[in-house]
Amino acid sequence: MNQTPNSTTNPLREGLSNRSLPRPCNVVIFGASGDLTYRKLIPALYNIQADGDLPVTTHITGFARREKTDEAFREELGEALTKFSRSGRNEEVWKDFSARLHYHRSEFGDEEGYRTLAERLNKLDEEHGTAGNRLFYLSVSPSEFEGILAKLAQFGLNKTKDGSWARVIVEKPFGKNRATAHALNEMVSHVFAEQDTYRIDHYLGKETAQNIMVLRFANAIFEPLWNHQYIDHIQITAAEPMGVEARGPYYDSAGALRDMVQNHLTQILCLVAMEPPTDLSADSVRDEKLKVVRSMRLMSPEDVAKNVVRGQYASGCVGGKDVPAYRSEDRVNPESETETFVAIKVHVDNWRWAGVPFYVRVGKRLPKHGAEIAVYFKETPGVLFNAQQAGLGPNVLVIRIQPDEGISLRMQSKRPGAQLCIESVKMDFQYGTSFGKPSPEAYERLLLDAMAGDATLFARRDEVDLAWTFIDCIEDAWHKNQTPPPMTSYPAGSWGPKEADDLLAADGRAWRRL
Partner 1 sequence: MPFDPATLGFPVELAKIPQELKKLWAADGDTKTRASLINFAVYTEGTEAFAANTHLIEEFVRDHACRAILVGYCPRVTPPKISAWIQAHCHLTKAGAKQICSEQVTLLAEGVSEEGVANALLANLDYDLPLNLWWHPEFPESASSPIWNRIDRLIFDSTNWKDRSEQLHRLHLLKAHSANRMALSDLNWTRSLAIRQAVAQCFDNPVLLAEIPAIHRIEIRHLAGFESTAQLLACWFGAQFGWNVSAHTQDSIQFQSSAGTFIECRFVASSSAGIALSSLTIVSANATLTLDREMGSALLHSRLQDSTGVSESHFSAGAESVKGLLSEEMNPGLRHKVYLKALALLQTIF
**By C-beta, is 263 or 439 nearer to partner 1?**
439
What number of H helices and E strands is found in the chain?
Answer: 17, 17
Taking CA atoms, 486 is separated from 53, 339, 361, 406, in Å, by: 51, 11, 17, 37
Smallest CA-to-CA distance from 319 within 400, 402, 239 is with: 239
Give the one residue of 224, 381, 391, 436 binding partner 1; rule: CB under 8 A: 436
Give the one residue of 26, 47, 57, 106 binding partner 1; rule: CB under 8 A: 57
Residues of this chain, 156-195, that bind partner 1 according to CB under 8 A = 162-163
Smallest CA-to-CA distance from 152 within 174, 137, 130, 173 is with: 137
Tell me how crowded residue 278 is: count the other CB atoms within 10 A of its CB.
Answer: 11
In angstroms, how far is CA 164 from the centroid of its own chain?
28
**Residue spans of beta strands (DSSP E) within 132-209:** 134-138, 166-170, 197-199
**By C-beta, is 6 or 419 nearer to partner 1?**
6
**Which segment (10-18, 144-152, 204-212, 265-273) binds partner 1 by CB under 8 A?**
10-18
Residue 507 C-beta: closest distance to partner 1, Å: 38
Residue 386 C-beta: closest distance to partner 1, Å: 30
Can residue 143 be called a binding residue for partner 1 (CB under 8 A)? no
Distance between CA 253 and CA 248 in Å, rounded? Answer: 9
Taking CA atoms, 207 is separated from 45, 275, 339, 439, 444, in Å, by: 17, 20, 29, 7, 11
**By C-beta, is 57 or 61 nearer to partner 1?**
57
**Which segment (170-178, 275-283, 318-326, 436-444) binds partner 1 by CB under 8 A?**
436-444
Give the one residue of 112, 224, 437, 482 binding partner 1; rule: CB under 8 A: 437
Can residue 211 be called a binding residue for partner 1 (CB under 8 A)? no
**Which segment (2-10, 60-68, 267-275, 494-502) binds partner 1 by CB under 8 A?**
2-10
**Which segment (68-76, 139-147, 254-262, 429-437) binds partner 1 by CB under 8 A?**
429-437
Give the one residue of 433, 486, 505, 506 binding partner 1; rule: CB under 8 A: 433
Virtual torsion, Cα 182, 187, 190, 194, nearest 10 deg: -50
Backbone angles phi, psi at 265, to 5 degrees: -75, -30
**Which segment (32-40, 55-63, 273-281, 310-318) binds partner 1 by CB under 8 A?**
55-63
**By C-beta, is 112 or 279 nearer to partner 1?**
279
Can residue 355 be called a binding residue for partner 1 (CB under 8 A)? no
Residues of this chain, 102-141, that bind partner 1 according to CB under 8 A = 129, 131
Beta-strand relationship, 321-323 and 316-318 = antiparallel
Can residue 435 be called a binding residue for partner 1 (CB under 8 A)? yes
Smallest CA-to-CA distance from 113 within 61, 37, 71, 53 is with: 61
Distance between CA 62 and CA 70 in Å, rounded? Answer: 9
Can residue 91 be called a binding residue for partner 1 (CB under 8 A)? no
Residue 488 C-beta: closest distance to partner 1, Å: 36
- H helices of 190-247, in order, are 207-217
Contact of 430 with 406, CB cutoff 8 Å: yes
**Which segment (17-25, 210-218, 486-494, 504-512) binds partner 1 by CB under 8 A?**
17-25
Buried b (16+ CB within 10 A) or exposed e, 349-378: eeebbeebbbbbbbbbbbbeebbbbbbbbe
Can residue 13 be called a binding residue for partner 1 (CB under 8 A)? yes
Contact of 42 with 80, CB cutoff 8 Å: yes
**By C-beta, is 4 or 482 nearer to partner 1?**
4
Distance between CA 264 and CA 259 in Å, rounded? Answer: 8
Binding mask 21-50 for partner 1 (x = CB under 8 A): x--x--------------------------
Residues of this chain, 275-334, that bind partner 1 according to CB under 8 A = none
Buried b (16+ CB within 10 A) or exposed e, 26-50: bbbbbbbbbebbbebbbbbbbbbbb
Give the one residue of 39, 86, 120, 228 binding partner 1; rule: CB under 8 A: 86
Can residue 440 be called a binding residue for partner 1 (CB under 8 A)? no
**By C-beta, is 8 or 482 nearer to partner 1?**
8
Residue 18 C-beta: closest distance to partner 1, Å: 7
Contact of 337 with 327, CB cutoff 8 Å: no
Backbone angles phi, psi at 276, to 5 degrees: -60, 130
**182: exposed, middle or buried (C-beta count within 10 Å: 0-12, 13-18, 19+)?**
middle
CB under 8 Å to 52, separation ≥6 — which residues? none
Give the one residue of 11, 224, 391, 508 binding partner 1; rule: CB under 8 A: 11
Taking CA atoms, 384 is separated from 306, 419, 422, in Å, by: 37, 15, 12
Contact of 373 with 408, CB cutoff 8 Å: no
Give the one residue of 14, 67, 91, 112 binding partner 1; rule: CB under 8 A: 14
Can residue 3 be called a binding residue for partner 1 (CB under 8 A)? yes
Residue 437 C-beta: closest distance to partner 1, Å: 6
Can residue 438 be called a binding residue for partner 1 (CB under 8 A)? yes
Give the one residue of 75, 434, 480, 486 binding partner 1; rule: CB under 8 A: 434
Residue 57 C-beta: closest distance to partner 1, Å: 6
- Contacts with partner 1 by CB under 8 A: the residue count is 34
Residue 8 C-beta: closest distance to partner 1, Å: 8
Which residues are annotated as catalytic? 264
Can residue 432 be called a binding residue for partner 1 (CB under 8 A)? yes
Contacts with partner 1 by CB under 8 A lie at 2-5, 7-8, 10-18, 21, 24, 52-53, 55-57, 86, 129, 131, 162-163, 432-438
